[in-house]
A = this chain, B = another copy of it.
Amino acid sequence: APCAAQDLAKTAGKNAKVLIDNEKVRVIELQMAPGAKTGMHSHGDNLVVFVTGGDATQTMADGTTKTMSRKPGEVLWSGPVTHDTVNTSKTAIRSLVIELK
């Protein structure tokens, strides 16, 4: 069955904290320990800001994967997407996921 649009704030459990949720944006802080996974989830238009950097692997809804390495202060724009992200670094990764409404 196609993956239902899962909410990151739920799939990532205690690793996710909603910092801002108003009529225009929702901002989720993700604190991912080494090996932690977000769980498969979907976003609409969004930005991700890396407060601390690190390496991660993303699995897309179609099963394809991509590895990435992010630096502190890096910011990425993305249109609607469904993916699962695992922290493959030896240190925690802290990021802010900014969802546009």
Q: A residues engaging B (CB < 8 A)?
A: 19-20, 22, 24-25, 27, 29, 45, 47, 49, 51, 72-73, 75, 77, 94, 96, 98, 100
- How many copies the complex holds: the figure is 2
Q: Are B73 and A96 in contact (CB under 8 A)?
A: yes
Known: A25-B77, A49-B49. 11 other contacts (CB 8 A): A19-B75, A20-B47, A22-B77, A25-B47, A25-B100, A29-B73, A47-B98, A49-B96, A51-B51, A75-B98, A100-B100
Q: Are B24 and A45 in contact (CB under 8 A)?
A: yes
What chain B residues lie within 8 Å of A27 (beta carbons)?
A: 47, 75, 77
Q: Are B100 and A24 in contact (CB under 8 A)?
A: yes
Within the assembled complex, what's the spacing in Å between the Cα atoms of A37 and B23? Answer: 31
Within the assembled complex, what's the spacing in Å between the Cα atoms of A51 and B72? Answer: 7
Within the assembled complex, what's the spacing in Å between the Cα atoms of A47 and B27? Answer: 10
Q: Are B73 and A51 in contact (CB under 8 A)?
A: yes
